């Protein structure tokens, strides 16, 4: 034990400031049946390190241990690193790991050891605390394990813990005004009156992650590609409302009512023209829609269209096909009169095929008596 105390005294000279000392008493259980469970005393000195770490030097001595026909005792020195989980309260849990060496008097052998454990301490005052810890230890030479509990007291000394707090005359604090409560004072806020709860940058302006000019909290289409023109909702502009944004639309200015592909190019157009029963005459009300399509074809001379006529399912099939052809040709001729190049046009009748509504009702049959355009490029 004198040897242990001398080593402890030498090492203590390194711990010049911000250190702790402690003493405790515990009991170890041993997995090897050649040595019985035993009580022991523990003294320790620790140096405070950054980031809530403590370097602990510990010395232990056991009581007399029964080992068959003779008594055994052991002295042990350990060097452990402790990490405190300091949550700002008086109760501080911690973990530690380390190793050391033990000298044995009796049947048991000297051995290097490694240990680890968990503990907790409670600060009764700024300097005085009580602790308890559970420990597991591996004895490498005797090939067994020691499991123990230790309880004790500790004292903190040195450094800033004992230095009296300097008397400082507080300077007047200038009141910082932040009218919109976004964390940026008015003197630096380039975007005052930001709505409550909106995330802002260092200038107090609402974050706009995709830099489209619409802040995140208003942006319904985040991650718009750079340089793309957007609307007030932060979504890419779709001028012809065909469902394909302008920056992807290879066929801009598609007339309303056209069905388009992924490139925004029309694949079909519904004139919205319907006919009276057994009639192929175009009503005057539908001519503006036909003119709209004519203007589109004249503006896109590379586009070709097949004008397709349909009927409901009433009557004979041969008659309905003939009637659908007449309806398609009527729209075809109307387009040519409006100036469309005949090379862009063809026509065909399909009778009652491909109905878009039920032929079981009067309204459905009226919808099926129609003309549409099928486009290709």
For the chain, the average pLDDT equals 85
Better-scored residue on pLDDT, 163 or 332: 332
What pLDDT does residue 163 have?
A: 43
Among 161, 183, 199, give the residue marking a domain's end.
161
Residue 176 domain-assigned (yes or no):
no
Lowest mean pLDDT among 68-77, 127-136, 291-300: 68-77
Q: Are residues 139 and 15 in the same domain?
A: yes
| pLDDT one-digit tens code per residue, 349-372 | 999 998 989 999 999 998 888 899
| Amino acid 158: pLDDT | 67
pTM above 0.75, yes or no: no
Residue 190: the pLDDT is 86
Region of poorest pLDDT, from 171-185, 227-241, 297-311, 322-336? 171-185
CA 251 to mean position of chain CA atoms: 38
Q: What is the pLDDT of residue 377?
A: 74
85: Cβ contacts below 8 Å, ≥ 6 apart: 52, 92, 93, 94, 95
Annotate 49-77 with b (16+ C-beta within 10 A) or e (fewer): eeeeebbbbbbbebeebebeeeebbbbbb
Domain tally, the chain? 2
Residue 260: HSE in the Cβ half-sphere, 13 Å Cα cutoff: 22
In a domain, 228, yes or no: no
Domain with residue 26: its CATH number is 2.40.160.20
Report pLDDT for 72.
77
Of the pLDDT bands very low, low, confident and very high (cuts 50, 70, 90), residue 76 is very high
Helix (H) or strand (E) holding 348: strand 345-349
Res 231: pLDDT: 87
Q: At 68, is the pLDDT very low, low, confident or very high (cuts 50, 70, 90)?
A: low
Return the higher-pLDDT residue of 179 and 255. 179
d(CA 354, CA 352): 7
Among candidate residues 102, 130, 161, the one where a domain is terminated: 161
* pLDDT in the model for residue 14: 45
SS3 assignment, position 54: strand
The pLDDT score that the predictor gives to residue 191 is 87
Residue 8 predicted with pLDDT over 60: no
Give residue 66's pLDDT: 66
The predicted structure's pLDDT at residue 196: 86
250 three-state secondary structure: coil
Query: How far, in Å, CA of 213 to CA of 281, rounded?
Result: 52
Mean pLDDT score, 64-72: 69
Please give the residue that has the higher pLDDT: either 171 or 23. Answer: 23
| 3 against 342, higher pLDDT | 342
The candidate with the shortest Cα–Cα distance to 114, out of 134, 77, 139, 141, is: 139
Tokens 């090492």 found at: 11
Query: H-type helices in the chain, by residue range?
Result: 2-12, 287-299, 317-337, 362-368
Q: Among 107, 127, 161, where does a domain finish?
A: 161
97-98-103-105 Cα dihedral, nearest 10 degrees? 10
Question: Are 7 and 155 in the same domain?
Answer: yes
pLDDT value for 236? 86
Q: Which of 320, 301, 324, 321 is nearest to 370 (CA)?
A: 324
Is 9 found in the same domain as 147? yes
Q: Which residue has the tokens 């700002």?
A: 88
CA geometry: angle 115, 7, 5, nearest 5 deg: 90
Predicted pLDDT of residue 295: 92
Judged against a pLDDT cut of 70, whether residue 11 lies above it is answered with: no
State pLDDT tens for residues 271-325. 878 778 788 888 888 899 899 899 989 988 988 999 999 999 998 989 999 999 9
Mean pLDDT calculated for residue range 45-55: 91
pLDDT greater than 90 at residue 51: no
CATH code for the domain in which residue 347 is found: 3.30.1330.60
Is the pLDDT assigned to residue 142 strictly greater than 60? yes
Evaluate whether residue 217 is within a structural domain: no
Residue 375 has pLDDT above 50, yes or no: yes
Q: Could you tell me which residues are beta bridge partners of residue 66?
A: 71
Q: Kindly state whether residues 144 and 269 are assigned to the same domain.
A: no
179-190 average pLDDT score: 85
Q: Average pLDDT of 81-106?
A: 90
Residue 200 is assigned to a structural domain of this protein: no
Given pLDDT bands bounded at 50, 70 and 90, which one contains residue 92? very high
pLDDT of residue 276: 80
pLDDT one-digit tens code per residue, 13-33? 444 448 899 999 999 888 876
Domain that holds residue 128: 2-161
Confidence (pLDDT) at 189: 85
């Amino acid at each position: 034990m004198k040897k242990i105390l001398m080593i402890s005294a030498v090492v203590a000279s390194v711990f010049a400031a911000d250190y702790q000392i402690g003493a405790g008493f515990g009991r170890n259980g041993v997995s090897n049946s050649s040595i019985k469970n035993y009580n022991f005393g523990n003294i320790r000195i620790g140096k405070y390190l950054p980031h809530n770490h403590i370097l602990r030097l510990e010395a232990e001595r056991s009581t007399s241990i029964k080992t068959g026909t003779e008594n055994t005792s052991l002295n042990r020195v350990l060097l452990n690193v402790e990490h405190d989980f300091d949550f700002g309260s008086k109760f501080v849990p911690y973990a530690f790991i380390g190793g050391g060496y033990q000298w044995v008097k009796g049947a048991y052998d000297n051995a290097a050891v490694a240990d680890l454990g968990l503990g907790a301490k409670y600060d009764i005052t700024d300097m005085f605390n009580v602790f308890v810890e559970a420990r597991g230890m591996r004895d490498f030479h005797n090939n067994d394990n020691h499991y123990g509990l230790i309880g004790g007291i500790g004292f903190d000394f040195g450094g800033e813990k004992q230095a009296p707090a300097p008397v400082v005359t507080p300077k007047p604090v200038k009141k910082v005004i932040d009218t919109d409560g976004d964390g940026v004072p008015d003197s630096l806020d380039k975007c005052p009156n930001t709505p409550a709860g909106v995330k802002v940058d260092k200038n107090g302006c609402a974050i706009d992650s995709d830099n489209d000019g619409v802040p995140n909290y208003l942006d319904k289409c985040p991650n718009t590609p750079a340089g793309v023109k957007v609307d007030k909702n932060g979504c890419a502009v779709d001028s012809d409302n065909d469902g394909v944004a302008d920056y992807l639309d290879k066929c801009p200015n598609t007339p309303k009512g056209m069905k388009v592909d992924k490139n925004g190019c029309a694949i079909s157009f519904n004139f919205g023209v319907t006919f009276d029963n057994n009639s192929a005459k175009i009503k005057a009300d539908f001519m503006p829609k036909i003119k709209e399509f004519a203007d589109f074809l004249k503006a896109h001379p590379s586009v070709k269209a097949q004008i397709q006529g349909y009927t409901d399912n009433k009557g004979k099939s041969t008659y309905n096909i003939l009637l659908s052809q007449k309806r398609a040709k009527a729209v075809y001729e109307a387009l040519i009169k409006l100036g469309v190049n005949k090379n862009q046009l063809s026509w065909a009748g399909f009778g009652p095929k491909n109905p878009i509504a039920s032929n079981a009702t009067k309204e459905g049959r009226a919808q099926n008596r129609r003309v549409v355009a099928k486009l290709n490029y």
